[in-house]
Amino acid sequence: MRKTSRSISAEVIRRFSVLSSAVLVASTLCLFAPGTALASCNPGRANDGNYYWTWVDQAPGYTVNGVYSSIWNYQPYVPSGQFSYSWVMLTAAANWTWAQIGNYEYSGGREVYLQYADGKSPAHGASFGAQPLNTLTPYDVGYGVGTFSFQVNGSLVFTHSASWTPTDGELSSEITSLNTQMMGATQNTVSFNQNQISYNGSWHTLSSSLHNSNSTYFGISGNGSRFLTWDKACAS
């Protein structure tokens, strides 16, 4: 996990241009809606300037042609200059190689956000309208014939030429500082469902152990095929 290679400030990320190949998401698939509404929660921690993750990943030993998850749409607390993000991603061993998409919350609002890096700084991104809260949204990043493809709800929203070959699929929740709420809460966790990875010509259930960059503050449970993330400071 080359987590430090993605430590880019929220201000820099917000300046990445939306490229002309982007296609706006036209529909939303509501898969599950419980009675309890999700709400943001200030975790009451100081800004330490460090990134944190809860995640699963698999490097099967083949070229990875896709990664998929249906992720719960939650709205965490995010102070100015920070972000909280749940995503699916293709990556490789070298630094500055990733292609990801997911539910993104920053101090100015919430959106679907994708980001890709071509082997060197800077990374680039594109933004789309937020998916409804209290729903599951399928996200998919694919690789084939020298192209990355990004899908939301089964619809293609973006493509980009690929200058590197992915060897790892990852699913994660991520924050940019301890003063930001990790996606989810103890009584309203964020779920990653039906997690799959494509390699060697077919799709497979993602097989991975659970990883947590700081178990004092954040929780993760489940397995590679389905897992939950949350911020231990927040009940809902």
Place of tokens 């994708």: 114
CA 138/CA 28 separation, integer angstroms = 10
SS (H, E, C) 204-227: EECCCCCEECCCCCEEEEECCCCE
Q: Is the pLDDT of residue 212 over 60?
A: yes
* pLDDT tens for each residue of 136-167: 999 999 999 899 999 999 999 999 999 999 99
Q: Which domains does the chain have, with CATH numbers?
A: 3-231 (2.60.120.200)
- Residues β-bridged to residue 125: 115
Tell me the C-alpha to C-alpha distance, in Å, between residue 121 and each of 124, 160, 175, 236: 9, 16, 20, 37
Looking at residue 39, its pLDDT comes to: 66
> What rounded mean pLDDT belongs to the chain?
87
For 59-89, the pLDDT digits (tens) are: 999 999 999 999 999 999 999 999 999 999 9
Q: What are phi and psi of 186, to 5 degrees?
A: -60, -35
Cα radius of gyration rounded to whole Å, the chain: 16
Alpha-carbon distance of 164 to 172, in angstroms, equals 21
Task: Give counts: helices (H), strands (E), the chain.
Answer: 1, 15
